[in-house]
Structures are given as structure tokens and as C-alpha cells.
Amino acid sequence: MQALSFGLYVHVPFCPNACDYCHFFHDKPSVPKVQAFLKRITEEREQWRSVWEARPFETMYWGGGSPSCLAPETLRTLGALCPVSAHLKEWTVEVSPTSLTPEKLQIFKELGVNRLSLGVQSFQAETLRRLGRKQAVSHVYKAYEAIRAAGFQNVNLDLIFPPDFVSLNAWQNDLETALQLQPEHLSTYCLTYEKATGPFTPQAHQAVDEDREADFYQFTWEFLEHHGYRHYEVSNFARPGFECRHHVNTWRMQEWLGWGPSAASQFQRKRFQNPCDWTSPIGSWVHEETFTEKDLCNDCLIFGLRMREGVDLTALQQRFPTVDLSVYQPLWQRFANAGWIVWENNCVRCTPQGMLLADSLALELL
């Protein structure tokens, strides 16, 4: 078995103004809840001490919620709780345009954070309003200017396209505006309708024309690649060398620990998630599953086909020697005949048409 990359994901579930489309566990920050959160992170740090001391984290990611809404002293405390070593290659923090300050940026710098992900979603006031974003476009420009002034040289912008109420021309304007800022990375997500998210519940959703949705995807892929961003995953683009290491390791089915309420982990062929509350004891996981080599191999194929480089079947066989990869050959042949994948040199990767059907191909693999 090859050595696997090891990461830490910290879920910071605080957000003063949750967006209407957000389905992640979140809560408004208060002194008691922030203290409970820090206590939990402290306990999880100790629970896993023997692991991270023997095997240092290579990536770290603070997601949310909105980690930047925490007070400066809380950010310092949380940073001190996260084990940092010379092995750490990437430390990402998600930040909000409305809560980022020069003081917090300086704290991130002092802690060793080297990548920031700014939640832009749109540069158009009407789109932000309909998404339930409590920010003005001016907040985005001010935050981005402060990020660059603080010396950060690896910045992602998160954008959302909602095909049911935004035109393709408006989306193009968002992309063109983002490019003017010259970020190293762009994540572009199609608005999805999840449970318990106010106006964006599935019941409130009128089905989007799938051809229209495909038009948005294809336009985005072609437009950003034309402007020098490598399309390395269905929704992610980067200038060469700026792909998000933490996400890539996740899509490649490596190993990571998740700390904080609702955070998920994958470790030693187990996948488990913390409860979505403040009071459950440490180790009382939900959705705990144990995987066979075949299960993980299948996941490597499913997520690998979402990546532009595809899957090297020779390397996959070396990682999972007990799995009979020949059983997939009829699928590869059918997918290739349909124009959904390219299958050559014992590597499979999706064509643009296949990437549009990535979820359907995953069901076939399952």
C-alpha cells in the first residue's frame, strides 16, 4: 500500500448571516458556543495526538460557516490548537468579505496560513440579493485588496451560477470581473437545491433545463481555460501549480481527519462524521462506515473521473492489488464508444461531454 497524504479539516460552524442556499451545519457565534467549540477542538487534538505526532499533517483547511467571523483572539487560539510542522504544504482558510479585517489577515500570516478562499459568489447586487448574501459588491473589492496588501499570493474566489434566474451574459460578466482581480484559483459551482434551506428547498425549485445548465458549464470551462486557468476538476480551475492540494487529496481518496461539529474524516479505511451539535462526547460519530479495498477503489474511480487528468489504472491497481480492475473494462468500452471517456495507455479520463455526465457515470460505476 502506497503512503497516503494526510490532511486536517476544521469545520468552523459560525456565521452571523447564513445564506439562503447553505445546507452546512452552522450557528450564530456567541461566547458560550465559541467556548464549546474551542473545547471540542482541544479534546479532538488530544484524542488524535498519537496519530498527528507520528504522521504530521500535509494540508490543513478551515471551512465553515465563516472562520473569518471569529474574533482575533479566538483565531489565535484556534490556530495554536492546530498542529503545524515543516511537513505542512498548504493551509487554507475560508473568509467572508464582510468579516475580514487587516488585523485578522495579519493573524493568519503569523499562524502560517498560505491560502485564502474568498466567498464572492457574484459581483452583481441583484444576484447576491436573490442568493441571500448579506454583502455588497464593494465588500468583495475591499476584502480582496486587503488580502493582497497583506501579502497573500494564493487566493481562490468562490462563484455560484444559478441558471434558473441568471442569464449566461450576466454569468460571463461575473467571470470577466473575477479575472480582472487575477486570482490564482477559481471555484465555480452551480446552485443546488438542498433540504431545509429556505427558498432553495427542492420543493421551491422549478426544474432547470438540463441543456441550459450544461451551457453554463461548457461556457465556463472554455472561457476560463482560454484565459489561462487549468480546468482540473468539474468545478475548479487554477493557474499552473495552484491547484488546491487539500481538495485534490480528498478526491484521490487519501486520508484526513475532520475536527469540529459535523466534520467528516476518512482514516484507516473508515469514514465517520461528528454529530451536528455542541454536546455529543468525543468519538460519538455518526454515519460510521468501514470500507473494503474495492469500496475505496470504486470511490477513486468515481472522483477521479471528475478530475481532468482522469485515473491511471496501473497506479490504481498497485494501490489496490486485490481488486480485479478487469471487471470495469466493459464499462470503459461502452463509455468510450459513447464519447464520454478517452481510454488509452491504461488511463481513463472524461471528455467534456463525459464531465457533464459525471454524476450519471458514477451511478454506473456503483
Cell of 78: 484556534
pLDDT of residue 216: 96
pLDDT of residue 22: 59
Measured distance CA(295)–CA(231) in Å, rounded:
27
- Over residues 299-315, mean pLDDT: 97
Taking only the tens place, the pLDDT of each residue in 164-175 is 889 999 999 999
pLDDT of residue 196: 47
For residue 351, pLDDT beyond 90: yes
Give the total residue count for the chain.
Answer: 366
- Over residues 203-225, mean pLDDT: 84
Query: Is residue 322 within 8 Å of residue 329, measured between CB atoms?
Result: no
Taking only the tens place, the pLDDT of each residue in 63-121 is 998 999 999 999 999 999 999 999 999 999 999 999 999 999 999 999 999 999 999 99
Residue 123 C-alpha from the chain's centroid: 21
Query: Is residue 96 within 8 Å of residue 66, measured between CB atoms?
Result: yes
Domains in the chain, ordered, with CATH? 6-250 (3.20.20.70), 306-366 (no CATH)
**Selection from 207, 185, 108 nearest residue 149 by Cα:** 108
Span of 43-52, 53-62, 218-227, 287-296 with lowest mean pLDDT: 287-296
